[in-house]
Structures are given as C-alpha cells and as structure tokens.
Structure 1
C-alpha cells in the first residue's frame, strides 16, 4: 500500500514501515551512514528519504544533530486525533452513499487478514489495523482524501508508539467488523458513530509509557525491512 517505485524510494518505504510498525521507536537516532550501508545506497539517497519523512511528521531533522524518529507531544497527539475524527467521518459519509458490494468485499478480505495474524504477529497486526483505515479512504475514490488519511494514520501509529499502553488487537478487529456491517447497511449515522467510538478507544489508550527503550540497533532493525533483490 502506497509503495514507491524509483530507486531512492525503497529506503523511504522501509523506514516508514519500520516506524509505523513501531520497530523504530520515537526518539531513535537515524544515522545516514548506517542506513546507507544497510541498504547499499549513498547518504544522499538516505537524506532524501529522511527529508520526505520529516515532511510527513514521522522524522525530525535538526541542524547539526541529524535525524531521529519524531517524538510527538501530547498536545500534538490530541490535535492529530481530532483531525483524524474529521477525516474519517467524511470517509464514512462517502462510503455509505456508494454501492456497498465492492466496498464490503474489499473490507472483508482485509478483515480476514487481520484475523489471520491476530495473536500471532503483533507487528503485522499493528500495520494491518492502520491499513484498514487507509483502505476505507481509498475505497471512496478520492485520492486527496486517501492521501490525507494515509498520512494521519501513519502519524497516529507514531503517537501510539510514544504514548501507548498495551492493548488488545482483538478489540480493534471486532470494532472493524462493526464498522463494515454499518457500511453494508448504508447506515451513515451508525457507521460514523462506530468510527467515532473506535477512534476514541484508541485515543483513550494513548497513555505515557516512560519505559521506552531507545537503545535500538537501527541497522539490525532495518535489515529486516531491506527489500529483497
């Protein structure tokens, strides 16, 4: 989903996925030389990827200090969740006014993937949970709306890595199923209410966790995200 194709973008894709899957935690340093060696590319290519991620709010670049995974403040966290509520409300309104058949098939296929990895692969479950919301936006047919939702969902994943209490992925899967049911009925009010409740549940679990381990070996983590040749 949202994969890039040019030579410089696999680094961006891999870094972005590692951040979204919470393998790279907020505050972790992202040294250009180490990342370049991991992917076999120049520091210029790495820098271009980091600049793009900085523009998306996932990386923080400071002059003379280099790049690190962004550390959102609690104020930013609440603001981002407020904006996400607005965007996903619009998604629900649009989907419920459309032919539900192709929408429901795509959503149920994705839900099956979420259920497949539930309790088996926590990293993939995190990514699939976010991609469910991105898929919802894509199914509206609005590229602009999908791009906005894609970015804000990614930033929410970063927020959860920074301010998150352990939570059950099972709750998320059940809530996704309820949202799908409401869309299938074309019930915009119900779908909007379900989405609002779902996002508030995620937000309510955003509690400060002072035990974050930021002594990660970035090269070792990113080696798992290196594209196969």
Structure 2
C-alpha cells in the first residue's frame, strides 16, 4: 500500500510543479501564512517545505524576509547551461551502454504525451513534459547522483527560461527528443550525445531577454496545483481550499 502523502509533501510537489511550469514566476513572493493556510500547515512545516525548494535552487529564502521564487542572473544562467551540457552528454552515453528495449518503449510513450500536449497547444504541460524526458533518461543512466544533479539543473533551467526565454517551442523539443531516441535505439551513443548537445544548445539559445509573462494570482495557482498533486497521491491528506490574493 502506498504511504499517505503528507501536507508538506503535497505542498512541496505543488509548488515545485507550479514553478517549473512557470505558473509562478521568478521573483514572486511566497508568504508563509498564505502557503500555510492553503495547505493546512504550520509555519514550521512551511519553512521546511521552502527549504527543500531552496536546496534545489528554485526558491530564495533569506532570514527575516519573505521567500521568493529564485531569479538567477545571466551569469548564473550561463553556468547552469555549461553544467547541464556536460551532465546530459554523460547521461546519454550511459543510457546507450545500458540500453534495454523497454527503455525505448517508455521514452516513446513519453514522446507521445509531448505530442498530445503540443496538439492541445498546452505550453505549461509541454514545458513540464520536456523536462521530464530528460529526467527519465537520467533515471535510465543508472547513476543516482548524476540523476539528482541533472534534475536540479533541469529545474533551474525552467526558471532561467521563465526569466529570459523566448516562447517555448514544443515542435522543436518533441522532434529533437525523437531524434535522440532514434539514435539510442540504433545503439549510437556518440550520435545521441551530439544530438543532445545540439538540443540543449537550442534550449540555451532561447534563454534570451524577452517579454515578461503576466503574473498570476498565487492563491489561485496553489489551489490548482495542490488539487492536481493531491489527486495523484494515493491516501493523500485533504487540502484546504482558500481564495487567492495577488502575488507581488
């Protein structure tokens, strides 16, 4: 039986997904009282939840200040992409060495989900699924530490694109993922690594200053994501719904 999800786990998952999907923008304040009310948690649990997100580079939390969604500088953004390129290349090389037919079936199924999101023109889901493709590859690489580092870097890239990026191109992402999958199925690890370099480079090139997205109401976003996360967690505790207020 699946262990019931705690309020803290649901709050963490909901906030993380909302940040990655760019529903909550960099710089948005994350008041402890509003989060606590939304998820029925004490301030101590809220701070612990925000600390988990801070450890992943998604939240800035300074003493005696309201936590905010992190805002990486352009210099930090360049450093993140340098690290991501190195990690992604090693991931596909390891996956190619450890390739199994079931890997191809799993990745193909994921690409189909990406294609479905593209057909619906659902940009936020497309952004999340694009990152999950890379996270699945990292799992297949069979190196837990590498997977942990890459997942963190992917999350930070979502923040960078929210701050500086051009609109997400789901067409490019899905096509490039399909090409990487085809190379892995052929057993051509070097070609897969080269394709990954090109793909991550294309993501980096989108990280240019663009039009700032419109800020959303924090309470409304949290309610939507809390419901989605709680609904997928077996035995999850009920989450209190509240009316939102403007995030500043």
TM band (smaller chain) = over 0.9
Asked if structure 1 preserves the Cα contact closer than 8 Å seen for 2:123 and 2:168, the reply is: no
Asked if structure 1 preserves the Cα contact closer than 8 Å seen for 2:21 and 2:124, the reply is: yes
Equivalents in 1 of 2:168, 2:7: separation in Å? 37
| Counterpart check, 1:154 vs 2:151 | no
Equivalents in 1 of 2:152, 2:146: separation in Å? 10
- Per-residue displacement from partner, 1:167-209 (whole Å, max 9, x unpaired)? 3211100000000001011111110110000000010010113
Equivalents in 1 of 2:174, 2:202: separation in Å? 13
The alignment covers a number of residue pairs equal to 225
Equivalents in 1 of 2:99, 2:62: separation in Å? 48
| Counterpart check, 1:135 vs 2:140 | no
Deviation for aligned residue 1:64: 2.3
SS at match of 2:225: coil
Q: 1:133 to 1:173 in 2, by over 3 A?
A: same
SS at match of 1:62: coil
Q: Which moved more, 1:194-203 or 1:62-71?
A: 62-71
Deviation for aligned residue 1:6: 4.0
Deviation for aligned residue 1:25: 0.3
- Per-residue displacement from partner, 1:76-123 (whole Å, max 9, x unpaired)? 101000100111111111111123312111110111111111141211
Equivalents in 1 of 2:5, 2:86: separation in Å? 31
Asked if structure 2 preserves the Cα contact closer than 8 Å seen for 1:26 and 1:158, the reply is: yes
Moved >3 Å (runs of 4+): 4-7
User: 2:91 aligns to what?
Assistant: 91
The TM-score, its normalising length taken from structure 2, stands at 0.87
Structure 2 gap segments, 5+ residues each: 232-237, 239-248
Alignment of 1:111-130 (within 5 A): 111-120=111-120, 121-130=122-131
User: 1:220 aligns to what?
Assistant: 220
Equivalents in 2 of 1:201, 1:99: separation in Å? 26
Equivalents in 2 of 1:166, 1:150: separation in Å? 22
The TM-score, its normalising length taken from structure 1, stands at 0.94
User: 1:24 aligns to what?
Assistant: 24
Equivalents in 1 of 2:130, 2:168: separation in Å? 13
User: 1:172 aligns to what?
Assistant: 173
Equivalents in 2 of 1:71, 1:119: separation in Å? 31
Q: 1:139 to 1:5 in 2, by over 3 A?
A: farther
